[in-house]
Amino acid sequence: MLAIPFPLEAKLLGWRAVSEAALFVAVSLMVVVVAVWARIAAMRREGWGELRLRYDEAPDPVVHGLNLLR
């Protein structure tokens, strides 16, 4: 990447300057998305320690046969 103002870069490089700027924006957005995802994942992992599993004792359901052999 060239470290010069975009109008001068566009004059020197033409359409390559536009594609370079688009690529820079795309990579920047990807970095932001990954950072947000990492923060959300970290918050979820921190919250897992506070969760408690609860098992309710319930009777087994009654199974009714189809009585197909009569």
pLDDT tens profile 9-48: 777 777 777 888 889 899 999 999 999 999 999 999 888 8
Q: How many CA atoms lie within 13 A of 67 on its CB side?
A: 2
Confidence of residue 70 (pLDDT cuts 50, 70, 90): low
**Domain residue spans of the chain:** 6-48
pTM of the model: 0.56
CA 59/CA 53 separation, integer angstroms: 19
Mean pLDDT across the stretch 51-70? 77
For CA atoms 6, 12, 15, 19, the dihedral sign is: negative
Mean pLDDT across the stretch 39-65? 83
b/e burial code for range 30-41 (CB count within 10 A of at least 16 → b): eeeeeeeeeeee
Q: What are phi and psi of 29, to 5 degrees?
A: -65, -40
